[in-house]
């Protein structure tokens, strides 16, 4: 009996095997007699890499040009002209991809994922603006970045925001940067690309939702200078940091400041620092006390931040498609629910549920550690901006804030001093 059974199962196996074979070759390729020649299977080559090279060369050219306009010619018109070029070329023609803002994610993915290496053009778009910023301030933001440029040309009726509101909103880019790094490092998603408000407009193919957001940003840009740059852009905060230590940042006056106050309100970004008189400086004792206090507050903020965010690591991980699928499968009941496309895809992939659950558990773990780091990072940023608020800095002249200033060159014409 047993023998018969095993023989039978062998037969069944054979038939199944045969069926599987026949599946791929149900209808064997015919032998043609009429001398038919078969067309070649089309495999068109990718667009030539020359485009990427042109992009990088134009980026360098535009950066050099705008830097020359700002530093040597001190000309706002020049900045506007370069902005228009960037909007047309980097925006509409190259469809806003790849841009420096998004390249942050390629860099992070390449650093964390050994199997991926960053395209040289994306690397160039990440590094070149940083190098220019290190030498000349954020001239990239002034009019080469298509996102910044498109907001800037819409700025017609600038109003200034309350200082505290600017400070609070100014924390968002840091959180956004942290999230973008978390999602890129785990190979989950490129959120900066996904939620780029202007790329849909550059491509004329935005979904209604994204178009509405992009249009809203442009509408706000009419009154509030560069809302995306100041309160969202994750690359902007990196440029901000680099620009603070830049070698030759733009100076409002061509020679030396005479404290005439004419430029005081000329900056639409409120990036002009007023002089701080000596008598406002604090004495040594209170400075030490402040220092010690901050030394305790910042680590505390980091730990609290890490703890709070790590509590949400499962929610953060839900963006990951594998985790989402595992979760869906866990709650899937074939009797009452209709199979989603995702579950159908999983079923045909031949992967077992256990494999998927293991993978998703590994990703969850990455998110757990990642969210601790994200939280600590946010805590650190909060702490340091608190420290920045309490710090007095002696300053004689009206100066552009090297971090916040985007070198738009609007303030330059307000200065009555002649260059010598």
Partner 1 sequence: MKKDRREFINTCFRFAAGASIVGVAGVLASKSAKGDFFWQLDPTKCTQCGRCATSCVVTPSAVKCIHVYDMCGYCDLCGGYFRPNVKNLSTGAENMLCPTGAIKRTYVEDPYFKYEIIDELCIGCGKCVKGCGAFGNGSLQLQISHDLCVNCNECAIARDCPSDAFKRVPLEEAYQFAGFKTNKKI
E-state strands within 275-333:
none
30-49 footprint of ligand SF4 as x/- string (CB under 6 A): --------------------
Residue 49's binding partner out of ligand SF4, partner 1, none, with CB under 5 to 8 Å set by partner kind: partner 1
Q: Of the two residues 250 and 363, which places its CB atom closer to ligand SF4 in the complex?
A: 250
- Which tokens sit at 277? 């008189």
CA 335 centroid distance within chain: 43
Residue 271's binding partner out of partner 1, ligand SF4, none, with CB under 5 to 8 Å set by partner kind: ligand SF4
Residue 269 makes contact with ligand SF4 by CB under 6 A:
yes
Q: Report how far residue 126's alpha carbon sits from residue 140's, in angstroms, rounded to the nearest whole number.
A: 11
- Which tokens sit at 338? 């209709």
Minimum CB separation of residue 410 from ligand SF4 in Å reads: 4
In the block, residue with structure tokens 């608020």: 389
Residue 164's binding partner out of partner 1, ligand SF4, none, with CB under 5 to 8 Å set by partner kind: none
138-177 footprint of partner 1 as x/- string (CB under 8 A): ----------------------------------------
Q: What Rg, from alpha-carbon coordinates, does the chain have? A: 29
In the block, residue with structure tokens 């601790």: 372
* Residue 395 Cα distances to 279, 280, 362, 401, angstroms: 11, 11, 52, 11
Q: Report how far residue 158's alpha carbon sits from residue 6's, in angstroms, rounded to the nearest whole number.
A: 85
Assess contact for 125 and 103: CB atoms under 8 A: yes
Identified binder of ligand SF4 from the candidate list 62, 87, 124, 141, rule CB under 6 A: 141
Residue 365 makes contact with partner 1 by CB under 8 A:
no
Residue 224 makes contact with ligand SF4 by CB under 6 A:
no
Residue 111 makes contact with partner 1 by CB under 8 A:
yes
Identified binder of partner 1 from the candidate list 5, 33, 50, 284, rule CB under 8 A: 33
Minimum CB separation of residue 16 from ligand SF4 in Å reads: 26
Q: Report how far residue 83's alpha carbon sits from residue 183's, in angstroms, rounded to the nearest whole number.
A: 31
Query: Which DSSP category does 263 fall into?
Result: T
Binding segment for partner 1 (CB under 8 A), chosen from 61-69, 79-87, 120-128, 137-145, is 120-128
Residue 63 makes contact with ligand SF4 by CB under 6 A:
no
Residue 273: φ, ψ to 5°: -85, 135
Residue 418 makes contact with partner 1 by CB under 8 A:
no
Residue 236 makes contact with ligand SF4 by CB under 6 A:
yes
E-state strands within 184-319:
272-273
Q: Report how far residue 402's alpha carbon sits from residue 250's, in angstroms, rounded to the nearest whole number.
A: 8
- Which tokens sit at 232? 């969202």
Sign of the torsion formed by the C-alpha atoms of 90, 234, 181 and 127:
positive
Residue 98 makes contact with ligand SF4 by CB under 6 A:
no
Residue 402 makes contact with ligand SF4 by CB under 6 A:
no
Query: Three-state DSSP class for 273?
Result: strand
Identified binder of ligand SF4 from the candidate list 147, 309, 325, 381, rule CB under 6 A: 147
Residue 322 makes contact with ligand SF4 by CB under 6 A:
no
Query: Three-state DSSP class for 235?
Result: helix
Q: Of the two residues 117 and 163, which places its CB atom closer to partner 1 in the complex?
A: 117
Closest residue to ligand SF4, judged by C-beta, is 148
CB atoms within 10 A of CB 198: 25
Assess contact for 375 and 311: CB atoms under 8 A: no
- Given the rule CB under 6 A, which residues bind ligand SF4? 100-101, 141, 145, 147-148, 226, 228-229, 233, 235-236, 239, 250, 266-267, 269, 271-272, 345, 400, 405-411
Q: Under the rule (CB under 8 A), what is the footprint of partner 1?
A: 24-30, 32-34, 36, 38-47, 49, 52, 95, 97-98, 102-103, 105-107, 110-111, 116-120, 122-123, 126-127, 130-131, 134, 189-190, 193-194, 203, 205, 241-242, 244-247, 321-322, 340-342, 344-346, 348-349, 394
């Amino acid at each position: 009996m047993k023998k018969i059974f095993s023989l039978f199962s062998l037969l069944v196996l054979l038939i199944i095997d045969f069926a599987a074979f026949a599946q791929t070759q149900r209808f064997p390729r015919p032998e043609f007699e009429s001398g038919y020649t078969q067309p070649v299977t089309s495999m068109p080559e990718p667009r030539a890499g020359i485009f990427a090279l042109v992009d990088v060369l134009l980026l360098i050219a535009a950066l050099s040009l705008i830097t020359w306009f700002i530093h040597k010619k001190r000309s706002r018109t020049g900045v506007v002209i370069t902005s228009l070029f960037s909007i047309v070329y980097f925006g509409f023609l190259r469809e806003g991809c790849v841009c420096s803002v998004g390249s942050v994610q390629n860099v992070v993915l390449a650093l964390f994922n050994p199997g991926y290496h960053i395209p040289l053009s994306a690397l160039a778009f990440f590094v070149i603006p940083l190098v220019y910023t290190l030498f000349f301030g954020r001239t990239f933001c002034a009019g080469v970045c298509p996102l910044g440029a498109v907001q800037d040309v819409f700025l017609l009726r600038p109003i200034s925001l309350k200082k505290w509101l600017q400070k609070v909103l100014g924390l968002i880019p840091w959180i956004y940067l942290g999230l973008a790094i978390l999602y890129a490092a785990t190979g989950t998603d490129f959120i900066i690309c996904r939620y780029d408000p202007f790329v849909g407009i550059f491509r004329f193919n935005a979904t209604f939702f994204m178009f509405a957001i992009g249009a809203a940003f442009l509408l706000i840009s009419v009154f509030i200078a560069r809302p995306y740059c100041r309160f969202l852009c994750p690359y902007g905060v990196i440029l901000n940091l680099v620009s603070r230590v830049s070698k030759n940042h733009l100076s409002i006056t061509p020679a030396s400041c005479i404290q005439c106050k004419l430029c005081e309100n000329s900056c639409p970004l409120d990036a002009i620092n007023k002089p701080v008189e000596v008598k406002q400086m604090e004495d040594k004792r209170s400075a030490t006390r402040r220092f010690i206090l901050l030394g305790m507050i910042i680590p505390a903020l980091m730990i609290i931040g890490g703890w709070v965010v790590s509590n949400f690591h499962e929610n953060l991980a839900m963006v990951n498609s594998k985790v989402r699928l595992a979760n869906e499968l866990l709650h899937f009941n074939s009797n009452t629910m209709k199979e989603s496309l995702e579950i159908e895809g999983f079923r045909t992939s031949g992967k077992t549920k256990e494999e998927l659950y293991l993978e998703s558990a590994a990703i969850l773990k990455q998110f757990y550690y990642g969210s601790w780091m994200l939280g600590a990072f946010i805590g650190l940023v909060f702490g340091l901006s608190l420290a920045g608020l309490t710090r007095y800095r002696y300053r004689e002249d009206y100066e552009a804030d090297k971090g916040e200033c985007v070198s738009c060159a609007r303030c330059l014409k307000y200065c009555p001093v002649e260059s010598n």
